[in-house]
């Protein structure tokens, strides 16, 4: 016979006859309500052990035969224990696998980072070598050009006089700068 509470606080000012709930002190009423609230918040699933212990289940299973509830409970508990240990092992194994994978990944990433750094260094060295090579080539070419210019000017110096003389014979208005054209 469960008591059904309809009001949170007793109403003394009303002229109506008092109900059963109004006879209970407000403090006790709050306490019961909070307990009921707590009970309502708990999960509704019944554990296998409680179900096995319940009288209707025992009667339903046994039908008046000798009662092996204790044995059955023990068996259920053992099965549950085994299941829990298996779940623990599975979790542990998956975690170990995860750790191994993670270690492997980090190892590979560190290898990749090292290779990347080495490749960067090599590229930089190659760039410097190319630059040095180009500067050397430029220097050699400029030297060759300077030498050619010098030889050309020398030829002009030595042979230009005669050519100029010939040009002046052909065209008296010829200037020394016309030798360069």
21 falls within a domain: no
pLDDT recorded at residue 119? 95
CA–CA distance, 112 with 108 (Å, rounded to integer): 6
pLDDT at 177: 77
Q: What local confidence, expressed as pLDDT, does residue 80 receive?
A: 94
Q: Count the domains in the chain.
A: 1
Q: Is residue 168 part of a domain?
A: no
pTM: predicted TM-score of the whole model, two decimal places = 0.31
Q: What confidence score (pLDDT) does residue 117 get?
A: 94
- Tell whether 121 is covered by a domain: yes
Please state, in angstroms and rounded to a whole number, the distance separating the CA atoms of residues 67 and 74. Answer: 13
Tokens representing 153 are: 């000017």
Amino acid 152: pLDDT: 84
Task: Give domain status of residue 14, yes or no.
Answer: no
- From residue 170, alpha-carbon distances to 74, 95, 149, 157, 181 in Å are 134, 103, 27, 20, 16
Mean pLDDT by 10 residues, the chain (181 residues): 55 55 60 60 63 63 65 89 96 96 92 94 95 93 90 79 74 76 67
pLDDT at 45: 67
The answer to whether position 19 is within a domain reads no
Domain boundaries, position 118: 45-145
170 token code pair: 């052909």
Domain membership of residue 165 (yes or no) is no
Residue 136 lies inside a defined structural domain of this protein: yes
For 9: left if phi > 0, alpha if psi spans -120 to 50, otherwise beta; the answer is beta
Q: Looking at the domain assignment, is residue 179 inside a domain?
A: no
């Amino acid at each position: 016979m469960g008591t059904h509470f309809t009001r949170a606080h007793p109403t003394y000012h009303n002229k109506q006859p008092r109900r059963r709930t109004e006879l209970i002190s407000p403090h006790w009423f709050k306490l019961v309500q909070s307990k009921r609230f707590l009970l309502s918040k708990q999960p509704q699933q019944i554990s296998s052990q409680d179900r096995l212990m319940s009288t209707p289940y025992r009667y339903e299973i046994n039908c008046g035969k000798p009662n092996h509830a204790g044995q059955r409970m023990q068996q259920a508990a053992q099965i549950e224990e085994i299941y829990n240990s298996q779940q623990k092992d599975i979790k542990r194994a998956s975690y170990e696998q995860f750790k191994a994978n993670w270690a492997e990944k980090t190892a590979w990433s560190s290898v990749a980072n090292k290779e990347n750094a080495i490749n960067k260094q090599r590229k930089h060295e190659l760039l410097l070598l190319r630059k040095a090579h180009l500067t050397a080539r430029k220097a050699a070419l400029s030297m060759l050009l300077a030498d050619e210019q010098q030889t050309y000017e020398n030829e002009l110096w030595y042979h230009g006089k005669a050519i100029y003389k010939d040009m002046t014979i052909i065209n008296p208005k010829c200037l020394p700068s016309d030798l360069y054209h």
